[in-house]
A = this chain, B = another copy of it.
Amino acid sequence: MFAPATKAGDAWTRMLGRRFDSASDIVVGDGDGRLYGLVSVERLLAADPGATLAELADRDPPVVAPGMDQEIAAWHAVQHGESSLAIVDPSGRFKGLVPRRRLLRVLLEEHDEDMARLGGYLRGSKAAGSAAEESIGRRFAHRMPWLLLGLLGAMMSAGIVASFEERLAANVALAFFLPGVVYMADAVGTQTEAVVVRGLSVGVSIRRLTRGESITGLIIGAAMALAFFPFALLYGDPRVALTAAVSLFAACSVASVLAMALPWALNRLGRDPAFGSGPLATVVQDLVSITVYLLTAMLIVT
């Protein structure tokens, strides 16, 4: 750490011959151990040797608190022109520097993790190159937990549909639209999840996310229902067509709320919100959509 009054030329002389883990930015601090600012190596090179570090320093570098999530921290740094990241405790004391090169690795690891979770793996810390070359036994083992959850979900879905057996037997056309409604609600939910998971992992607050996504979900649900109704009428029974349209609206709306609630709840519990997307979310969404569809059928097809 250099004092603000240090001349650029002197800073160079003192750095020469010393080993640094990274030399992308130099730290300028006052006597109390408080951060004054950062000077990038590019700026220091270009400077007049007589200029003081106080003149050269970026007084507003990206700063994070000691316990901050590394993905949010990396995001701050990139927003700030790929600078290094200063760690400063609540009392303003400088605690350390995350160099640019380290940020690169952090972002890459987070990318693999998010991708793996969306894809349905329990652990995401493996590099993609190695995940693609794992032994078959390991591939199987990595996927098993989510697949067992999925199997449980599939069994529950059979139970739910079976409990509406009489109604289905009386009007088999109800079975025609069930897969489509489940699929559409899932698609709407997945889109919302992508926004929410990404937003939460870079530090956007859930409140800012919720309103926009809820209204978007309602509009999409209404648009889908209106477009689907005339098509469903082609299959005859208008009550069944109405069931399809109403449940499409309801299931899409519920899906966008669920897609926000799961990552939010996980975030509150201190888990990675990305766990609330992918397989877990899909199982929950599908079971809810099936239930919404069949309850709607009960109300409309008497």
A interface, CB within 8 angstroms of B: 12, 15-24, 41-42, 45-49, 75, 77-79, 81-82, 100-105, 107-108, 110-112, 114-116, 118-121, 128-129, 131-136, 139-140, 143, 146-147, 150-151, 153-155, 157-158, 161-162, 165, 168-169, 172-173, 175-184, 186-188, 190-191, 193-199, 201-202, 204, 208-209, 212-213, 215-216, 219-220, 223-224, 227-228, 231-232, 235, 244, 278-279, 282-283, 286, 290
Contact = CB atoms under 8 A, between A and B. Distances in A.
Contact of A154 (B168, B175, B181): B181
20 contacts: A12-B16, A23-B41, A24-B101, A78-B108, A119-B193, A119-B195, A120-B191, A132-B204, A132-B208, A134-B212, A136-B215, A140-B216, A147-B220, A151-B227, A153-B183, A157-B183, A158-B179, A158-B180, A175-B175, A183-B282
B146 A191 contact: yes
B49 A20 contact: no
Contact of A108 (B47, B107, B186): B107
Contacts of A46: 17-20
Nearest to A71: B111
A231 B146 CA distance: 19
A169 B128 CA distance: 47
B154 A176 contact: no
Q: Which of A16, A41, A181, A195 has the most CB of B within 10 A?
A: A195
Contacts of A195: 119, 128, 131-132, 139
B114 A187 contact: no
A45 B190 CA distance: 50
Given A16-B49, A119-B191, A184 B82 contact: no
A14 B215 CA distance: 60
A208 B119 CA distance: 19
B175 A168 contact: yes
Given A24-B100, A128-B204, A139-B213, 9 more contacts: A15-B45, A18-B46, A120-B190, A120-B191, A128-B199, A132-B208, A143-B220, A169-B169, A183-B283
Nearest to A175: B175
Contacts of A135: 212
B228 A151 contact: yes
B114 A190 contact: no
